[in-house]
Homo-oligomer: A and B are copies of this chain.
């Protein structure tokens, strides 16, 4: 039986980046870049005025000048006016190009403008004003230079990244194609959730849960349900194994007589990479790969087992296959003593709160076991309690798996 670390390594070893595709930037939110995006111009592309006011030459101020005739008014988006008289100034707006011949901007609050004759305007600086050469000017290339890689391969297109891509004119971008996932529920006890169950039946819920989970991770997901019947499984599985990047099954991987999937998957040509992981919940986890086709996660059917296994193994696979670097690891502080004796990694459901000293505090939630679906409603995530230890004291810092 594999440890969680071994299982993780085997899962991630199968995750090569999926093919790239070109999409318009307007449809690229959340997608993962497959080519560096470089600055086509300096950032900013010109000496950019950052306040509304007047632009002047600091040298004129330095020799004592405090009154400046205004040669022009220049708005953002206009070609720059070149200062003709070095002792004059240009009225200027935020976002405009700094007029050639000027180097410093004085904001409106620090001056008054009067109009002694029709058509003439003169700005007078406030008494005692201190003026730094270059003030209120964002100089060309101050932030980034033309040719700099702004968004490297593997970047997720966040709102800010989209803005940067737009600024450099990336009207379309190369991104990783979304993973295509088949989510397959099993279990004859589970009827569609739109129907009324008999007393011994339950409604299906894992399909919807797993679909939402993989969609959050950027994949597309179709949901299927297959009966606990070897013939029907044998008939249905090949198309899924060939047609999808990932097949996520839930249920049917344990030791019961209805747990047909490990056998049927092998018969269908999927190669088993591991079956069973030293963890709770989720010990019966099955993982394999169809040569030239899908990777296959056989998640235990209990809702909490399915959820934890999807978050712990499927989500990192999808992230790796998207071309992103692994998520940075995160720790949280256990607030109560916990004992867990079996030699298994225990995923302890916890509620998270940001503590007064900036620590992330994790409080264990009542754990009704792997069938306790409602437990997931009060848990923000799981602490990963290593198999090698059984007693965990309050204050222990442990790896966090967010839900």
Contact = CB atoms under 8 A, between A and B. Distances in A.
Contact of A188 (B46, B76, B144, B168): B76
A205 B374 contact: no
5 contacts: A25-B208, A48-B371, A138-B372, A158-B212, A166-B193
Question: Majority SS of interface residues in chain A?
Answer: loop
Contacts of A144: 374
Contacts of A91: 257
A175 to B, nearest CB: 14
A98 B278 CA distance: 27
Interface string A339-364: 00000000000000111111111000
Nearest to A357: B397
Interface stretch (A1-9, A238-246, A267-275, A327-335): A327-335
Given A45-B199, A159-B210, A331-B354, 13 more contacts: A43-B373, A46-B199, A52-B259, A93-B257, A143-B372, A159-B216, A160-B209, A160-B376, A166-B203, A167-B202, A354-B400, A358-B361, A358-B397
A373 B330 CA distance: 28
A398 to B, nearest CB: 8
Contact of A212 (B29, B150, B371, B400): B29
Interface of A: 25-26, 29, 41, 43-46, 48, 50, 52, 73, 75-80, 91, 93-97, 107-109, 138, 142-144, 150-151, 158-164, 166-171, 187-190, 193-206, 208-210, 212-213, 215-216, 228, 254-259, 301-303, 307, 328-333, 353-361, 368-377, 397, 400, 403
A48 B199 CA distance: 11
B189 A77 contact: yes
Q: Which of A95, A198, A205 counts the most chain B CB atoms within 10 A? A: A95
A208 B26 contact: yes
Contacts of A215: 29
A94 B167 contact: no
A372 B48 CA distance: 11
Given A187-B76, A193-B25, A331 B303 contact: no
A203 to B, nearest CB: 5
B203 A169 contact: yes
A374 B164 CA distance: 7
A73 B360 CA distance: 49
